[in-house]
Every structure is written in structure tokens, then in C-alpha cells.
A = this chain, B = another copy of it.
Amino acid sequence: MTTMRQFVGEVLRARRADRGFSIRELSARSRVSQGYISEVERGQKEPSSELLAALADALDVPLSSVLREVADQLETAEVRSQLASVSSIGADTVRASAA
């Protein structure tokens, strides 16, 4: 299952694209290094609360809206994962009944 960290990265990258900023520009605005931003966007680094706040600020978006979007994506993943386990239980039941 996709971790929260990966969704955080995806949402941040999408917000940066919305604003039309390069990583270099976001780095200059946020004073966060380009390498770090890139790692966060790829879901490889767990950003601290302070760093997330600095990035959201530099993107002119409230951190709460970034977080809400992460929550929405996480919920979709949770539902999909539940559905997958329900349908695998369903398939097992069908197989067990057939046996």
C-alpha cells in the first residue's frame, strides 16, 4: 500500500506544477534545498512539520489543504485495499464452496 509519505510527495509536486514553479524556484522561495524537495516529492524523505509548512508557504497554499488532499488520496487507497481483501475473501469462499 502507498504510504502517506508518497501521497504527500505527489500532492506537493502537483501543487508546485499548478503554480508553475521549477524545483529550483521552489527551493529559492522556501529555502529548502533542491535535492531535499526532490526526495520529498518522490516520497523518499519524510518531511518534518516545519519543512512541510515552509514548502506550503512558498507554494502559497495552506498546509491544511495539502493535508486534506493527502487524506483524500489515502482514503481512496484504504477503500481500494479493503475492497481487494473483501473480493479475495469472496474468491476464497467461492473456491471453498466449490471444493
Report if A25 contacts B (CB, 8 A). Answer: no
Asked if A64 and B71 sit within 8 Å, CB to CB, the answer is yes
How many copies altogether? 2
| CA of A62 to CA of B75, assembled, Å | 8
Question: At the interface, is chain A mostly helix, strand, loop or mixed?
Answer: helix
Question: Closest residue of chain B to A67, judged by CB?
Answer: B71
> How many whole Å from A7's CB to the nearest CB in chain B?
9
Tell me if A48 counts as interface (CB < 8 A to partner B). Answer: yes
Chain B residues lying within 8 Å of A18, measured Cβ to Cβ, are none
Would you list which residues of chain A between 6 and 59 have a CB under 8 Å from chain B? 6, 8, 46, 48-50, 52-53
B-binding residues in A (CB < 8 A): 3-6, 8, 46, 48-50, 52-53, 62-65, 67-68, 70-72, 74-75, 78
